Amino acid sequence: MSPIRTVEDVKSALGSLVPPVVLDVRWALGDTEGRQHYLDAHIPGAVFVDLDTELAEHGAPELGRHPLPSIDALQAAARRWGVTVGVPVVVYDNTGNTAAARAWWLLKWAGVEHVTMLDGGLKAWIEAGNDTASGEETARTEGDIELGEGHLPILTADDASALAISGTLLDARAAERYTGETEPIDPRAGHIPGAVSAPTSANLDADGRFLPAEQLRARFAGVSDEVGVYCGSGVTAAHQIAALAIAGIDAALYPGSWSQWSNDPSRPVATGPS
């Protein structure tokens, strides 16, 4: 199934006999006010999801900034959000789904089959003339979902290193972080040797919607049969995996990403445009 749904489709589904669970994943690097943005305005009925605490687990720096949560913690959170067997899930943010894609990927990885992103996010919802709500909302009923890990492929650091040689490893960060010109948050600048720069921002049009499938197929035409993706901490790389899926290409996520790799002094670092 496609990773995305249109505003019109989601609005129609919300009025159906089995409306989807809607999750607001407002997060951006350097912006700590995601919950406040949600409280100010969100799609009516949407439940806020905290990416830092609910879609990630935190520990030693060598694990990266956003390690995958334990399956038990994710299941408990998903049930709080109202995720229920047989009920579709729609996730969104207000940054072109670059954060919401983490929830999309994580729930798919954990076995939730019917989860999609609202294409264009909150911006598209509002521009279509739809109302928003303010304040905190909770799930209509507690969910009963049973989760299990491993339904989508992931890479370890060693896997990513090998794939950069044997297949295609895409670096979804901004080009200047790939080249090593700047590094705003992680301990070393540069990229995994052999990785190819493919910034997530190029997956979207000017309105924050995913490019059409044919354009995404053209963008990724040069990838090999085996594809992996990483970013700074495994968040926007999920967006790249969604774009690849729209193009008909399967890809694995390196969850530790650059934040894990750059914290390991034994790992080599490349700089420059290639």
Domains of the chain: which residue ranges? 4-128, 157-263
- What is the model's pLDDT at position 159? 98
CATH of 4-128, one of 3.40.250.10, 3.20.20.100, 3.40.1110.10, 3.30.200.20: 3.40.250.10
Q: Note whether 4-128 and 157-263 share their fold.
A: yes
Buried b (16+ CB within 10 A) or exposed e, 209-245: bbbeeebbeebbeebeeebbbbbbbbbbbbbbbbbbb
Is beta strand 227-230 parallel, antiparallel or unpaired with respect to 252-253? parallel
Q: What is the DSSP letter of 89?
A: E
Give the residue among 271, 64, 53, 76 at the shortest CA–CA distance from 185: 64
Residue 169 near residue 192 (C-beta atoms within 8 A): yes
Residue 236 near residue 185 (C-beta atoms within 8 A): no
- What is the model's pLDDT at position 150? 94
- What is the model's pLDDT at position 271? 97
pTM assigned to the model: 0.96
- What is the model's pLDDT at position 213? 98
What values do phi and psi take at 155, rounded to 5? -120, 140
With tokens 């038990």, the residue in question is 72
Out of 25, 100, 216, 231, pick the active-site residue: 231
Residue 72 near residue 66 (C-beta atoms within 8 A): no
Taking only the tens of pLDDT, the chain with its 274 residues reads 899 999 999 999 999 999 999 999 999 888 889 999 999 999 999 999 999 999 999 878 889 999 999 999 999 999 999 999 999 999 999 999 999 999 999 999 999 999 999 999 999 999 999 999 999 999 989 999 999 999 999 999 999 999 999 999 999 999 999 999 999 999 999 999 999 999 999 999 999 999 999 999 999 999 999 999 999 999 999 999 999 999 999 999 999 999 999 999 999 999 999 8
Task: Specify the CATH class of 157-263 in words.
Answer: alpha beta
- What is the model's pLDDT at position 11? 98
- What is the model's pLDDT at position 59? 75
231 is catalytic: yes
Angle (nearest 5°) at CA 225 between 261 and 205: 75
